Structure 1
Amino acid sequence: MSETDSNLARLEVAADWFEQRAVGVVDEVEFDRWLRDPRNMEAWLAICDSDATIEPLRIARKILKEMDGITQARTAANDDKAMRRGGPEKLKQVTKPGRGALNRRRLFVILTGAVTAGLVGTGALVANAKQSIETGVGERRQIALPDGSKLDVNTDSKVLWRFGAAKHEVWLERGEAALVASKVKRPITVKAEGWAVIALTEGQYNLRRQGDALSVTVLHGDAEVTTAVGKVKSVHMGDAVVMENAGLQIHPVASSELQKATLWRTGQLAFDGVTLAQAVEEYNRYLITKITIRDKSLGNIRLLATGPWSTDDPKEFLDTLAASFNVKVTRSASGEYVISKFL
């Protein structure tokens, strides 16, 4: 196989991976193994960076498939005629390829170029469309972005991204996610309404959306914030930027908050300096069977340096709560955990 044929084959495989990721049916282990080959990584980035590659590849494959079907039907018809007219010897003459026969892979190249130029086929280009990953309550998922960066997506969250030739963009629609940017060839822009957070270096970032507010905590590395009027502000390791409709704030993050921003990736929670109501609200993000506070005054209890607790099962947290304060924990008929006062 020539180098050109080999490169085209890799592009076809990369296009298949792209389509699989678009519908969420990727074998991540196999994909990572395939991506370790630098030549495959180059093909993958070429597919992801192109605004007009995926659809031409898809249409070209479809056309070739249809042509294969037509060719097979014609071959079968010719074989039948040859057998009737001259037997096996005549069949050999008919089925022998002509000198003008076109190599299938060369035809693929021609068709792809024709589609890209708008000469064959129609349809929306999907390389410039957003892709997404979503989790349910209590679920966490990891995924590799087209440039090799990693996304760790927390419970009940949705992240979208678009990696084109000019820029790489990420949107956090809801929930929380950690972004590990490594060996990035261009900045990753985290989009928010009216704002843009641009990760300029390799690093780790925690993204969280609460209502209209989007916060980005810099765990390692640096970032820059570009405001709606073009003003640029620097954000460094240990800082958080909070963006919402009312404005933008940059502030250093307490060690307990930094811990919270990393613990969830190991399936744990910790609380320090928050009220019981705030702790329960946070815990319920991970639980299908929720925790409720029957006596609202209990919500003002302040928790100091508690945890870590498992996000999967609140039993140890609730047992410790009952032993430390004048409260009891029961289960309702629907299975909810109910925190109330001792009478």
Structure 2
Amino acid sequence: MKAEPLENPQAHPSRPSQQVVRQAIHWLLRLRNHASAPTLRRQCDLWRAAHPEHELAWQRVQSLHSELSANLRAVPGAHIALDTLENSAQRLGRRQALKLLSGVVLVGGAAWLGKDLGWQTWNADFATATGERRGFQLPDGTRLELNTHSAADLDFSAEQRLITLVRGEIMLTCHRDPGRPLRVQSRHGLFEGLEGRFVVRQDSDCTRLSVTSGSVAIRSHPGSNGAPIQVTAGQSYRVTSSTATLSPSLDMDADAWVDGLIVTRNMRLQDFLNEVGRYRQGYLKCAAAIADLRLSGVFRLEDTDKLLAILPRTLAVRIRYRTRWWVTVERLA
């Protein structure tokens, strides 16, 4: 579902109130209990459209519910507890169900789920679960795409267009807005795009910028001495806490994930598995002896198990499943 973010964030709180969040949870429960009721769906749509704060709360509740479900179902046996929770919520009255779901949110933030979800995800304006990709149309016409396990905040006003990358990876397709350039803030720098298409990926140790069309300025980063760096179409930069360096030719297409693909060119097997691992739960590695094997090709992301099953067709390897969540790639004997 696409969302229309806030056209004037200063006209109301940047975070939805607790009351509005609980209303969003209430609508979510009602729709889950009566999925085939078109009248109820229309009523929910009207509630969402009544105020930007309603839509913001709805998107956050949807994002949290999606990731909560994905993470719980990734744990062996946890699906039983989750199904019990969902079935119990359906049988409870409105007040009890709200209390139950709110309790799940609070407990999830304090337990092991909190490590993966984090309150940053709950507070973020836009977020995706592991393996999920979502697109949004922003008020100025900019297209925002979020890759797997990503989150971003939006701060648009008459004076600025600012997106803060909380985690993960985004792609932006933006248009020129005189006097109000589009800026992306990551932990490692500030990136400014006037017009074009570019990808920003925030890893633990660096932020990677890849420009597909147009140009982007690396406006500031530690060690830049205030001098912006112009990045043109076809170029990629790696920005750390102290440097910004031009990357050599990439071994994968930086924006292919938007189309649900990984496109590689002579990529190391271990690096490839690291990429695939971003879209699935659990452990995915290969033996050190075959980490440097190379592969090229186009791989679809919608089913990572099917993707892995393709590897033995091109490499002398086998896929070993200890469990669904513990997978290793080994040399074929």
**TM-score, normalised by the number of residues in structure 1:** 0.58
Q: Distance in 1 between matches of 2:53 and 2:147?
A: 24
Q: Do the aligned partners of 1:199 and 1:224 also contact (CA within 8 Å) in 2? A: yes
The 5 Å alignment of 1:156-305 reads 156-185=149-178, 186-193=180-187, 195-200=189-194, 202-227=195-220, 229-251=225-247, 253-254=249-250, 257=252, 260-288=253-281, 290-293=283-286, 295-303=287-295, 305=296
Q: Distance in 2 between matches of 1:141 and 1:240?
A: 23
1:284 positional shift: 0.7
1:270 positional shift: 2.1
1:55 corresponds to which residue? none
From the superposition, tell whether residues 338 and 242 of structure 1 become closer, same or farther in structure 2 (CA, over 3 Å). Answer: closer
Q: Distance in 1 between matches of 2:278 and 2:161?
A: 29
1:251 positional shift: 4.7
1:272 positional shift: 1.7
1:213 positional shift: 0.9
**Identity of matched residues, %:** 22
The 5 Å alignment of 1:113-152 reads 132-152=125-145
1:335 positional shift: 4.9
Deviation digits for residues 180-237 of structure 1, max 9, x if unmatched? 113535201111346321112x211111112131122111111222235321222211
Tell me the amino acid that sits aligned with residue 211 of structure 1. Answer: S
Structure 2 counterpart of 1:313, from 295, 298, 303: 303
1:252 positional shift: 6.5
Q: Secondary structure at the match of 1:217?
A: strand
Q: Distance in 2 between matches of 1:319 and 1:22?
A: 40
Q: Distance in 2 between matches of 1:335 and 1:192?
A: 31
Q: Distance in 2 between matches of 1:326 and 1:233?
A: 43
Deviation digits for residues 46-76 of structure 1, max 9, x if unmatched? xxxxxxxxxxxxxxxxxxxxxxxxxxxxxxx
From the superposition, tell whether residues 166 and 131 of structure 1 become closer, same or farther in structure 2 (CA, over 3 Å). Answer: farther
Q: Do the aligned partners of 1:134 and 1:159 also contact (CA within 8 Å) in 2? A: yes
1:330 aligned to 2:320? yes
1:271 positional shift: 2.1
Q: Do the aligned partners of 2:281 and 2:325 also contact (CA within 8 Å) in 1? A: no
1:240 positional shift: 1.9
Q: Secondary structure at the match of 1:261?
A: coil
Q: Distance in 2 between matches of 1:214 and 1:172?
A: 10
Deviation digits for residues 139-172 of structure 1, max 9, x if unmatched? 0111122322111101011111211232111121
1:16 positional shift: 4.3
Q: Distance in 2 between matches of 1:150 and 1:181?
A: 7
1:338 positional shift: 2.8
1:339 aligned to 2:325? no
Tell me the amino acid that sits aligned with residue 284 of structure 1. Answer: G
Q: Do the aligned partners of 1:238 and 1:252 also contact (CA within 8 Å) in 2? A: no
Which runs of no fewer than 5 residues in structure 2 stay unpaired?
Answer: 1-10, 13-45, 61-122
From the superposition, tell whether residues 339 and 166 of structure 1 become closer, same or farther in structure 2 (CA, over 3 Å). Answer: same
Tell me the amino acid that sits aligned with residue 325 of structure 1. Answer: L
Q: Distance in 2 between matches of 1:206 and 1:269?
A: 15
Q: Distance in 1 between matches of 2:219 and 2:186?
A: 11
Q: Secondary structure at the match of 1:245?
A: coil
1:282 positional shift: 0.4
1:17 positional shift: 4.3
1:263 positional shift: 1.3
Deviation digits for residues 57-108 of structure 1, max 9, x if unmatched? xxxxxxxxxxxxxxxxxxxxxxxxxxxxxxxxxxxxxxxxxxxxxxxxxxxx
From the superposition, tell whether residues 22 and 291 of structure 1 become closer, same or farther in structure 2 (CA, over 3 Å). Answer: same
Q: Distance in 1 between matches of 2:145 and 2:228?
A: 27
1:70 corresponds to which residue? none
Q: Secondary structure at the match of 1:278?
A: helix
Aligned length: 223
1:315 positional shift: 4.1
**TM-score, normalised by the number of residues in structure 2:** 0.59
1:82 corresponds to which residue? none
Q: Distance in 1 between matches of 2:216 and 2:284?
A: 37
Tell me the amino acid that sits aligned with residue 197 of structure 1. Answer: F
Query: Between Structure 1 and Structure 2, whose CA radius of gyration is higher?
Result: 1
